Amino acid sequence: MANSARARELLLSARNLVILTGAGVSAASGVPTFRGPGGLWRHFRSEELATPRAFAGDPSLVWEWYHWRRETVRTKLPNGAHLAIARLQSKPPANLLSAVLVTQNVDGIHPLAGSPCIEMHGSLFRTKCTNSRCPGSSKATEDRRSPIVEALRGRGAPDVEERGPQIPEEELPRCGECGSLTRPAVVWFGENLDPAVMASVQDALQACDLLFVVGTSGLVYPAAGFAEEVQARGGNVVEFNVERTRQDADPSRRGRGAYLFVEGPCEVTVPAVVNAALAR
Q: What are the two backbone dihedrals, phi and then psi, of residue 111, each rounded to the nearest 5 degrees?
A: -60, -35
How many residues line the site for ligand BV8 (CB under 6 A)? 40
How many alpha carbons fall within 13 Å on the CB side of residue 119? 19
User: Interface with ligand BV8 includes 241 (CB under 6 A)?
Assistant: yes
Q: CB under 5 A: which stretch of 19-27, 121-129, 200-208, 223-231 binds Zn ion?
A: 121-129
Distant-in-sequence, close-in-space partners of 43: CB < 8 Å, separation ≥ 6: none
Work out the angle at residue 163's Cα, subtended by the Cα atoms of residues 162 and 165, and round it to the nearest 5 degrees. 125
User: Interface with ligand BV8 includes 36 (CB under 6 A)?
Assistant: yes
Based on CB atoms, which residue is closest to Zn ion, 180 or 275?
180
Alpha-helix runs per DSSP H in the chain: 3-11, 24-27, 46-49, 52-57, 59-74, 80-90, 109-112, 195-207, 226-232, 266-279
Is 67 a catalytic site residue?
no
Crossing angle between the packed helical segments 3-11 and 266-279, to the nearest 10 degrees: 50
Sign of CA dihedral 237, 240, 244, 245: negative
User: Interface with ligand BV8 includes 236 (CB under 6 A)?
Assistant: no
Q: Are 22 and 104 in contact (CB under 8 A)?
A: yes
Applying CB under 5 A, which of residues 151, 175, 273, 274 lies at the interface with Zn ion?
Answer: 175
How many alpha carbons fall within 13 Å on the CB side of residue 154? 4
Report, in Å, the least distance between residue 156 CB and Zn ion.
24
Based on CB atoms, which residue is closest to Zn ion, 59 or 92?
59
User: Interface with ligand BV8 includes 121 (CB under 6 A)?
Assistant: yes
Q: Which residues of 174-205 are buried (b: 16+ CB within 10 A; e: fewer)?
A: bbeeeebbbbbbbbbeeeeebeebeeebeebb
User: Interface with Zn ion includes 58 (CB under 5 A)?
Assistant: no
Distant-in-sequence, close-in-space partners of 202: CB < 8 Å, separation ≥ 6: none
How many residues line the site for Zn ion (CB under 5 A)? 8
Applying CB under 6 A, which of residues 11, 20, 23, 102 lies at the interface with ligand BV8?
Answer: 23
Work out what residue 105 binds among Zn ion, ligand BV8, none; the CB cut-off runs from 5 to 8 Å by kind: ligand BV8
Based on CB atoms, which residue is closest to Zn ion, 175 or 208?
175
User: Interface with ligand BV8 includes 24 (CB under 6 A)?
Assistant: yes
Q: CB atoms < 10 A from the CB of 142, how many?
A: 10
Round to whole Å and give the CA distance between 213 and 223. 10
Work out what residue 175 binds among ligand BV8, Zn ion, none; the CB cut-off runs from 5 to 8 Å by kind: Zn ion
Applying CB under 5 A, which of residues 22, 59, 111, 136 lies at the interface with Zn ion?
Answer: 136
User: Interface with Zn ion includes 19 (CB under 5 A)?
Assistant: no
Based on CB atoms, which residue is closest to Zn ion, 43 or 133?
133
Applying CB under 5 A, which of residues 9, 58, 177, 228 lies at the interface with Zn ion?
Answer: 177
Footprint of ligand BV8 (CB under 6 A): 22-24, 27-28, 33-36, 39, 46-47, 50, 104-106, 121, 186-193, 215-217, 219-222, 240-243, 245, 265-267
Footprint of Zn ion (CB under 5 A): 129, 131, 134, 136, 175, 177-178, 180
Catalytic residues: 121
